[in-house]
Structure 1
C-alpha cells in the first residue's frame, strides 16, 4: 500500500531517538522549576517521576509489541478500549507535543541568540522538518550525533562541578523540602523529562522486528536518561543548592560558573541548544506519526496520511506539523509549556496503562499498569493549577469535537 512505512530502525537507532527527546527536554528545561516546587526533595521527585515513567514504559512496550504500527497510544487505546479513548489519547498527544516542539525550538533560540530566539526557533523548525522529510534513517543519524555531543557536554558539567572546590557549597539535601504537594508537583514537572521514550513507540511501524526491538529499546533509553539526570542533578545541587537552582534560568551554565569553570559556559550554551534541537527532531517525528495514524482513521484530513514513495515518511503530516510549530515558535511565549505538556502526556499514558491492563492475566503486567495509571492521575492533579486547567480544557475540547463529528456521521 502507498501509505505504509518501511521498517528500517534497529535497537540502537530507536534508543538514540528516545534519548534525543528525553535529554533535550529534561535537563535543560525541567530541573529548575522542579527544584522550585520540591526544594530539597528534588532528587526524590526525580526518583518518583522515574518510577511512573518505568511503569508507563513497561506498559507501552507490551502494547507496542502487540500493535507495531505508527500512532502509539492512539492505536493502543483504539484497539483495547474503543475509538473514543484512542482518539482522546491522540488528541492530547498531538496538541501537547506540538506546544512542546515550539518550546524546544525557543529554548534553542534563547541559548544560541538571546533576543532573537523567535527567528532562530523558526529556522530550526524549518531545518529539522526538512531533515525529517528526508527519511527516518537520516533523522536517526542526526539524533545519534546530537545525543553524543550533548552527553559529552553533560559529562563535562558533572566532572567540573564534582571536582571543584565549590562542591559542597550547595547542599545535596537542598535545604527545606517542598512538602508532599511540592514533591508531587516536582515529580510531575520532571516527568516531562522522561516522556521522550514515547517517540520509540510512535515509530513502531518503522522499527525492525518490533516485538523484540521496542521492549529492549524503551527500558534502555529510560535507564540511560535516568542515570544522566541523576548525575547532573547531584552535580548541580552540590555547587548551587536547591534555592539557587530553582531561581536560575540557565542552571547548568550557572553551575559550571559557580564551580570556577567560566570557560565551560559557552560549551554548555551550545550543548543546551543541541539538546533542544535533538528533542525537537524527535518530537516532530512522534507528532507526525500520530497525525498519520489519526488521518488514516479520518479524525484528521486524509491527505495527512500520505507516505512519500521514495523516502517512506509521512511527508504531508511532517510538513503540516512543522508549519504549525513554526507559527507557534514565531509568535508565542511558551514558558508554561512544560506543565501543559506534562498534563497531556500523563493523560496519554493513563490511557496506555488502562489499555495494557486489558492485555491478559499477566500478574506483573497488570500490577505495573495499575501503578502507572495511579501515578499518572496523581502527578497530573499535582501540577500547577493553570497547567491542569489548560490541559483539562484541551481534552474536553477534543471530546466535544469527537462527539460532534460522531453525531454528524450518524446523521442524528
Structure 2
C-alpha cells in the first residue's frame, strides 16, 4: 500500500515559500488556464511537427505510437503532480532531485532540460515558418524569417507577464483544437483504412510502433511545464493534478484521431513526403485551398501557443536554478512584474538560431530523447517515494526508458 502524500517532508527543498503560504498577486492561473498551458505545450507543435516523422517510422501503426506515448505521459504526469503537491512548491525534476540531496545530478538535469526546451521551441518555430511559407508559396528564406519572428513575438508576450501569456494560451488552444478535430472528423467520415499504409516496398510492422513512440514523444512534452508554474496557480494542489490528467487525456485523444484521419485524406505516402507541412497536405485533400488556409491558421496558433507555454515555464525553471546557484545568476533577474526576462531572452534567442539552421527530424529526435530520459528519472523518484498509486509511476519509468533505448536503436539504424 502506498504511503500518504502528507508523510513526505523534503530535506533539501529549494522551495521559496512555506507549505500553504501564498504568493500575493501572482495567482492568475485557474484550472482552465493551467489546462490550456499544458495542452498548448503538447499539441502546440506536436502533431504538426511529428506526424510525418512518426508515420515514416510506424506506418499504419502510427496511432498506436501516439497511444503508447500518451500512456507513458499519463503515468509521468501522475508522478509530476504528486511530487509537486508533496513539496508544495515549483521545481519539477530539478527540485525533486535537490530535495533528495542529489545536487550534482540536479544541476545536470536542469541543463539537460533547458537544452531540451530550447530544441522544442526551435521545432515549434521551424514548424511555424514552414506552414506560413507554404501557405504563401514563399521561398525558404521566408520560412526562416517567419520562424525567428514567431519566437521573438511570443518572447515579447512573455515579457509582458503571466496574465497576458495565459489569455493568449486559452484563445490559441481552443482555436487549434476545433480545426484539428474538424480535420480528423473529415478523414474518418471518408474512411479509407488502406491509405494508412506506406507503399509495399516500405512496409512497417508493429515493431515500428515502438520505435515511433521514441520519435513522437516530443509531442507529449508540455504537461510537466505546470510543475514550474505552480506558484502561478489558484488552489494549486488541486489544480495541478486535475490539469495534468485532463490535458494529457485531451492531447492523446486528439493525436490518435488526427493520426488516423489525416492519412485517410492525403495518404500516408504524401504525409511522409511533405512531413514538414504534413497536415497542410491533409487539409488540401479535404477542402482544397480552404483546407490549407484552415490548417495553416491552426498551425500558427498551435506553434505560437507552444512557444508561449514552453518559454513561460522554462524561464521560471532557469530562474529557480539560478537562485540556487546552479545556473548563472543573470537568469534570476526579474523585471518589476516578476518576469525572469534574462531567461526569456536567452532561451528564445537560442531557439531562434536552431529553428533557422536545424532540420525537423534531428530537432524532434533530440528533444524526444532528452525528455524520455528525464521523465524516466522522475517516475523512478515517484516510485521510490511511494506516492499515491506508485505502481503507475514504476510502469511509466520502465516504458519511458525503453522508448529512449528504442529511439537510439532507430537513429543508429539497428531498427
Q: Assess same fold via TM > 0.5.
A: yes
How far residue 170 of structure 1 moved from its aligned partner, in angstroms, is 3.9
Contact 1:14 1:217 (C-alpha < 8 Å) held by counterparts: yes
Per-residue Cα deviation, 1:212-231 (whole angstroms, up to 9, x for no partner):
11001100111111121122
Q: Superposed, which structure 2 residues align to 1:30-41 within 5 Å?
A: 30-41=50-61
How many angstroms does 1:234 deviate by?
A: 1.8
Aligned position for 2:400: 376
State whether residues 101 and 284 of structure 1, in contact with CA within 8 Å, keep that contact through their aligned partners in structure 2.
Answer: yes
In structure 2, the residue matched to 1:300 is: 327
Q: Would the aligned equivalents of 1:133 and 1:318 in 2 still touch at CA under 8 Å?
A: yes
Q: Distance in 1 between matches of 2:61 and 2:410?
A: 23
Per-residue deviation at 1:279? 0.9
**In 2, are the aligned partners of 1:105 and 1:276 still within 8 Å (CA)?**
yes
Shift, 1:308, TM fit: 2.6
Counterpart of 1:204 in structure 2 is 230
CA distance in 2, matches of 1:49, 1:375: 9
Partner of 1:140: 166
The aligned runs of 1:180-329 (5 Å cut-off) are 181-249=207-275, 250-259=277-286, 261-309=288-336, 311-329=337-355
Say if 2:105 is the partner of 1:85.
yes
**Deviation of the 1:334 alpha carbon:** 4.8
Quickly say closer, same or farther: Cα 1:33–1:82, change in 2 above 3 A.
same
Long gaps (5+) in structure 1: 390-412
> Which residue of 106, 115, 122 corresponds with 1:95?
115
Q: Deviations over 1:259-298 (max 9, x none)?
A: 3544211221221122111111111112212211211111
CA contact (8 A) 1:92 1:347 kept: no
Q: Do the aligned partners of 1:69 and 1:204 also contact (CA within 8 Å) in 2? A: yes
* Inter-CA distance 98–387: structure 2 relative to 1 (3 Å threshold): farther
1:151 counterpart residue number: 177
C-alpha distance in 2, partners of 1:199/1:387?
27
> Residue 327 of structure 1: CA displacement?
3.2
Query: Alignment partner of 1:27: what SS?
Result: helix
**Counterpart residue number, 2:6:** none
Equivalent residue number for residue 396 of structure 1: none
Quote the offset at 1:77 in angstroms.
1.9
CA distance in 2, matches of 1:16, 1:213: 12
Distance 1:110 1:237 in 2: 19
Query: Is 1:347 aligned with 2:367?
Result: no
Unmatched tracts of structure 2, length 5 or more: 1-15, 18-22
Structure 2 vs 1, CA of residues 181 and 168 (structure 1 numbering), >3 Å: closer, same or farther? Answer: closer
Distance 2:387 2:153 in 1: 47
**Residues 36-51 of structure 1 aligned to structure 2 (within 5 Å):** 36-51=56-71
Q: Identify the match of residue 66 of structure 1 among 86, 98, 102.
A: 86
Name the SS of the counterpart of 1:259 in structure 2.
Answer: helix
Q: Distance in 1 between matches of 2:365 and 2:158?
A: 27
Q: Which moved more, 1:154-163 or 1:111-120?
A: 154-163
Deviation of 1:330 (Å): 4.2
Question: How far apart are the structure 2 equivalents of 1:103 and 1:153?
Answer: 21
What is the TM-score normalised by the length of structure 2?
0.85
Verify: 1:52 aligned to 2:76, yes or no: no
Aligned to 1:26: 46
Contact 1:105–1:122 (CA under 8 A) maintained in structure 2? yes
Cα 1:72–1:270 shift into 2, 3 Å: same
1:347-366 Cα offsets, whole Å, 9 max, x none, are: 1111211221232375x22x
Report if the CA contact (8 A) 1:22-1:197 is conserved. yes
| Cα distance change on mapping 1:387 and 1:276 into 2, 3 Å | farther
